[in-house]
Structure 1
Amino acid sequence: MNPGRRLLLASAGAEAGAGRSVGGQTRRDTDRIMANSIVSKNFTALSDLHPNMANLKIIGIVIGKTDVKGFPDRKNIGSERYTFSFTIRDSAAHFVNVASWGNEDYVRALSDSFRVGACVIIENPLIQIKDLEREEKFSPATPSHCKLLLSENHSRMKVCSNYEVDTKLLSLIYLPVKESSDYYSLGDIVANGHSLDGRIINVLAAVRSVGKPKYFTTSDQRKGQRCEVKLYDETESSFAMICWDNESILLAQSWMPRETVIFASDVRISFDKFRNCMTATVISKTIITTNPDTPEANILLHFIRENKETNPLDDEIGSCLKESINLSTIDDVYTVEQLKVKALKNEGKADPFYGILYAYISALNIDDETTKVVRSKCSGCGSIVNEASSICTTCNRDSSEFKSAFLSFDMLIDLSDHTGTLHFCSLTGSVAEETLGCTVNEFLAMTDEQRTALKWQLLLERTKIYLKVSLLHRARARLRMSVLSCKLADPVEASRSLSG
């Protein structure tokens, strides 16, 4: 850790002393208060668990949860048993893993009844000594030597309303399960590169963007899902974290980009050969704390708030370049032919119009060395900077006067449907990043073969495209088609919209 960061941490620690952060004496006080609260309500504290106990009643807040999975039942050939697990906490220092086994209806109903952040009361669980070597390889590491088992016949679980629960218990959701200073910065991960490949580490970072979940079916007909979250901090502007399970995807969908900080305990770091960069993956051991109340997280939160509006380099295309139109207000659907007719009718009008197009990307020259895909842009106005002279012709500023330049996607694509083709549609900035699924730096690190593979992933896939159509009076190409969003289309939605 660098000296400057140590000073910041010391300062933040002093300021956060009266907050929710728990450390040292504050942590002991919280444990004592929680223990007194639990005893007074006839609950058994997690710190007191041992295998010979019976008829227990335990209360805790859920800090982690896995998906339901089915396994062949060796006792009943041809049938399956189902299971899922979660982690509960009743004090700063104590949390345990809970597993449920049973038939599909029971296990799925139990799993669907709560999410991370819920407070639950568990009655009559079975207490077992956990096998450290075997279980903590796939489950979150806990300070307890015990684990809890829930069975349909003997155990009961109730989800509590937050109004019924002591606020001290609710506040535990903001405490990471690892020491608040025990993490890698994103810059450290990138700098260490291959040496961290396969390692399981902790990460503290801010959420830059949350992708939409993508659903798929494997070759053996199993359903799957995937969601990519882009993270950033003071040391790295973009870093991918992949979620493969439904529980972590649901949690990620609740995060507000550029307003949320997460502490991800026990994520797997790996080198992505396709994108030629390091990535993080949420695994069954991972516990993610949203907006942790720690000095380190408070510093990062202050950083992202300070830089939210003022640092265009973290925003790729800058706030002045972003399209302000709300996509949800665009509902006119066109074919290519209808869009061209509409553009002709609008000739002579200064205002642009907007529409939705269900089409294919029919030309995407991202692997052609003669085609410029990434350009240097002025951070002041967003215009392309002349690479030879380093001058922004729009601002008329030279490199010593304008703030700085940043790299951004700036490319032309063709869009086609059954009625025709729109040539030279503009795909730029963060919209291009979302469409390609990579940042500018990740793209520049790709080999020609990787760029070609990426191109063929996107070509001839039915997409839902939001377009802005502008008339350029003095340009040779009189129409400018700007892509505002380009994502895979839902086949049913596309069919219904086109038939309507």
Structure 2
Amino acid sequence: MAGVRKISISELGPGIGNAMLIAVIIAKQTPRKITSKKNPGTERAVWSFTLRDTPYDFINASYWGSVENVNSIASGLHIGDVVEVMNVKVNMRQGNDSEERFQPCVTSPFQLILSENQSTVQLQRPVDEFDADMYNNLIHLLHIPTKAPSSFITIADILASETSTRTEFVDLLVAVARVSPVKNIKTKDGRDIECREVTVLDQTNSNFPIQLWEPDVIVQSGHWKPRHTVLFLADVRLAWNNFHRSMGVSICSRTIITENPDTTEANVLREYAFSAPIAPSAVLDQMANSISDASAIRVVMSVQQVIKKASRNMVAEENFHRNSEDSQFSCLIYCFVTDLDLDGVSRVVVTRCSKCQATMEDTFQGMCPNIDCPVGSGAVIAKPEITFDIRVTLSDHTGSLPGCRLMDKNAEKVLGCTPTGFQHLTPEEKTSLKWNLLLERCAARVMVLKANSQRQVPLISLLSCDPADPSEVAARCPRC
């Protein structure tokens, strides 16, 4: 266009006119209605968004106009769109401006003001080879975090943090573990809004929920793939979550989401997420398998004491979440095995995916049924594992612990055979093996994953089960 000069964000300054800026939208907010000061009784609207044109240069912009016009412009442009902006007003940012607290942190000392009558902002598409190179360079910026790649904290750091009345913002690097369906919620003032919960993980926690309320972010999250999508979340709001009774984070107007960041840290997390245990039972199994010497567990508890410590306590749950070590404990129980089905209809040996540990049923003909797993999706070929998966009931004079998990190598030690060897036993041999343990006084060492707001029942894994010395039982067994 004649007389129009193309500039970059770094070249912006007060008084620049008749200029054109091409950049990519990296964040956007929901338009807000504002009562007009010039024309009392009428409403105007403003839409705020953030633009970027280099790894180092990004700026906030506000588009003002009638409610209909602003809603039309905002609904037609999305995060990841390359736009052409013309006839803007460039203002110096005011550090004490209350609006600054609700906008993303940017590198430019200026802000852009656009108006319905004077400015234009429209979608930009490449029309030739030169434009295509520029367009692809701008799209690549969507994978470069707006903060230092190592500035993030871990989920464990959040759960361990103290509650505070101050508004705090933190950066997170997480992988998507699960994307829940969109829910419709009616607000207190009668509005119908949508929300979605996304569960994320890192190397310190595999089940951390984040609530999404922004419509564009909800749509964006529909494309996230569990175990594949990694997110760098810049400036999420740290707050106490009353429902989960723990510290949590929320996506807010300051947040910039970088999908699949092009960083070393993100690549390491993505590799971890491919095979990380996500389900609580998988987490417990991994912890149980990591115990090299169960005999070192010397803390003696009765069944009733285990139930009391493992059950959810809303009063103490705040402290439970602050210390990740408090989410599980191990102990020694002098007890009897009162239920162990090795020769009946219960499942004893299973075939699992070696990557995600999903059970491979016969109907899948040895294929992983989890499409989010690299094996299930066909991206990786891996030999399945044959392993024990047994449920045991432990009982003493105070009560019973049904459904204790006897898994993998620990089951091999307790039973004295491998899964393949067990499959070759005759029914009579399986019955004999069962009665070697059933109703015998034993010293059982267990690991317990406590109940919480997301899982009402504790999970228990049997680490070892040895014959109990009567004199030791008499001296150490709790009375209650």
Using the alignment, how far apart are the partners of 2:361 and 2:180 within structure 1? 18
- Partner residue, 1:289: 258
Partner of 1:398: 411
What SS class does the counterpart of residue 184 from structure 2 fall into?
strand
What pairs up with 1:416-495 in 2 under 5 angstroms? 441-443=452-454
Residue aligning to 1:18? none
Deviations 1:300-349 (A, max 9, x none): 01111243799972599951179989xxxxxxxxxxxxxxxxxxxxxxxx
* 2:102 matches 1:138: yes
Partner of 2:13: 50
Q: Choose 220-229 or 233-242, whichever is displaced more.
A: 220-229
The TM-score normalised by the length of structure 1 is 0.57
- Of 127, 138, 144, the match for 1:169: 138
> What TM-score do the two structures reach when normalised by structure 2?
0.59
- CA displacement at 1:392 relative to structure 2: 5.4
Counterpart Cα distance in 1 of 2:214 and 2:240: 20
- Given that 1:84 and 1:107 are in contact with CA atoms closer than 8 Å, whether structure 2 keeps it comes out as yes
Aligned twin of 2:182: 213
CA distance in 2, matches of 1:64, 1:442: 32
Structure 1 residue 246 corresponds to structure 2 residue 221? no
Please list the CA deviations of residues 337-363 of structure 1 after superposition, one character each: whole Å capped at 9, or x if unmatched: xxxxxxxxxxxxxxxxxxxxxxxxxxx
What secondary structure, in the 3-state scheme, does the structure 2 residue paired with 1:136 have? helix
State the shift of 1:219 in Å.
Answer: 3.0
Deviation at 1:172, TM superposition (A): 0.7
Amino acid at match of 2:359: C
Which one of the candidate residues 189, 214, 226 is aligned to 1:257? 226
Of 37, 48, 54, 1:91 maps to 54
Q: How many residues align?
A: 317
- In the other structure, the counterpart of 1:347 is none
Counterpart secondary structure, 1:93: coil
Q: Check 1:248–1:48 CA distance in 2 against 1; reply closer, same or farther (3 A cut).
A: same
Deviations 1:54-75 (A, max 9, x none): 0110010111011122122233
Question: Equivalent of 1:109, from 72, 75, 79?
Answer: 72
Structure 1 CA distance for aligned equivalents of residues 228 and 363 of structure 2: 19
Aligned counterpart, 2:33? 70
Task: Report if the CA contact (8 A) 1:230-1:240 is conserved.
Answer: yes
Tell me the C-alpha RMSD between the 2 structures: 3.4
- Matches of 2:25 and 2:75 in 1, distance apart? 13
2:359 to 320, 329, 337: 320
Amino acid at match of 2:358: S
1-side partners of 2:181 and 2:277: how far apart?
22
CA distance in 1, matches of 2:153, 2:361: 32
Residue aligning to 1:386: 393
* CA apart distance, 1:168: 1.8
State the 1:258 CA deviation. 1.2
Work out whether residues 312 and 318 of structure 1, in 8 Å CA contact, stay in contact via their aligned partners in 2: no
Contact 1:119 1:162 (C-alpha < 8 Å) held by counterparts: no
The 1:396–1:178 alpha-carbon spacing in structure 2 relative to 1, beyond 3 Å, is closer
CA distance in 2, matches of 1:194, 1:248: 27
**In 2: Cα distance, 1:247 partner to 1:309 partner:** 27
Structure 1: stretches of 5+ with no match in the other structure: 1-40, 326-378, 403-438, 447-500
CA 1:129–1:197 in 2, change beyond 3 Å: closer, same or farther?
closer
Following the alignment from structure 1 to structure 2, what is the Cα–Cα distance between the partners of residues 391 and 212? Answer: 32
Contact kept in structure 1, 2:389 and 2:405, CA below 8 Å: no
Measure the CA separation in 2 of the matches of 1:255 and 1:238: 16
Radius of gyration: which is bigger? 2
Residue of structure 1 in register with 2:122 after alignment: 158
User: 1:211, CA displacement in angstroms?
Assistant: 1.6
Task: Supply the AA of the counterpart residue of 1:188.
Answer: D
> Structure 2 vs 1, CA of residues 151 and 383 (structure 1 numbering), >3 Å: closer, same or farther?
farther
User: In the alignment, which of 102, 110, 118 is matched to residue 81 of structure 2?
Assistant: 118
> 1:84 touches 1:111 (CA, 8 Å); kept in 2?
yes
Describe the shift of the 1:279–1:394 C-alpha distance in structure 2 as closer, same or farther (beyond 3 A). closer
Counterpart amino acid of residue 57 in structure 1:
M
Is the Cα–Cα contact under 8 Å of residues 62 and 117 in structure 1 kept in the other structure?
Answer: yes
Contact 2:86–2:121 (CA under 8 A) maintained in structure 1: yes
Asked if the contact 1:243–1:282 (Cα under 8 Å) also holds between the matched residues in 2, the reply is: yes
**Unaligned residue ranges in structure 2 (runs of 5+):** 286-355, 365-385, 396-400, 416-449, 458-480
